[in-house]
Structures are given as C-alpha cells and as structure tokens.
Structure 1
Amino acid sequence: MSLANTEPVKTERSPVFDWPGIEAPAIRFPLAVHLAQAEEAERAALARAEAAFLPRPARDRRLHRRAHSE
C-alpha cells in the first residue's frame, strides 16, 4: 500500500511500518541512448531491495523475545 504523506487525513488511520523505500527505476526513451542509465538504476534498485531482505538482528531479537514472552 502506498499513501501520500502530504495531508494527515490521508494517513492518520493507516498503520505505520518501517518499510524500506525503494525507488523504481525509470526508463527513458530512446532506450538505446539511455541504456546505461537504465541499467544502473535497475542495479541500484535491486541492491536496495536485496539489502532490505538482509537480517536485522536488533529487530529479530526483539520479535523473538516478544513471541516467547507470551
């Protein structure tokens, strides 16, 4: 889900998550002229996405403690 955060009425009843922001690579045309830029933008977006899936030890420990304390 994506919400604009410009007006509180748009987000006030929506949960807040610590989700990573990953900019979607744009393709400019003619592609032959802008191919290197498109490939670099795709590499950068994939690197950010892969990094978002890496373990976050502090968060994982906190969730583990919460699950076992109930």
Structure 2
Amino acid sequence: MDLGKDRGLLPFTRTELECLRKCAMGKTDLQIGLELELTAGEVASVLNVVMLKLRVPNRLAGLAKAGRLGLVDQIDC
C-alpha cells in the first residue's frame, strides 16, 4: 500500500495499517494478535516498524501523527 509514500513516508503494509488502526481503537498487542493471528511480540514488532516509518519516538506520538495524516480516525489523547 502506498498510503505512506504519498505523504513522504515509507509505504505501509496491510498488516502495519491493521495493527495501527486496532492500536488506535485502544486494543492491546495481545488483542490485536488474537484478531490477526499474530503473537503479541509480533504485533509489538510491527508497531515498532510503523513508528519508525512515521518518524516518531513512541506509540502515542505515532497515533497522533497517524490521525493527522488520516491513516486512522482522529482520537482524543
């Protein structure tokens, strides 16, 4: 998917976007993993890659930036 590339970011995979969106809904790594048939550790790794691609230091900053970019629904932090 080229959703990130259009914004000057590296492109995101479908799994990365799904994990990001579920994280934005407040789901834990374990919950996301159960839904996507991944381990909690794999989800954490995927989300770490997402944060690197978004060029942010942590998930909270990543969710805020993803909301501004329209990658996830706006959330109140």
Whether these two folds match at TM > 0.5 is: no
Larger gyration radius, structure 1 or structure 2 = 1
TM-score (norm 1): 0.30
Q: Looking at both structures, which has the greater relative contact order when contacts are Cα pairs under 8 Å and sequence separation is at least 6?
A: 2
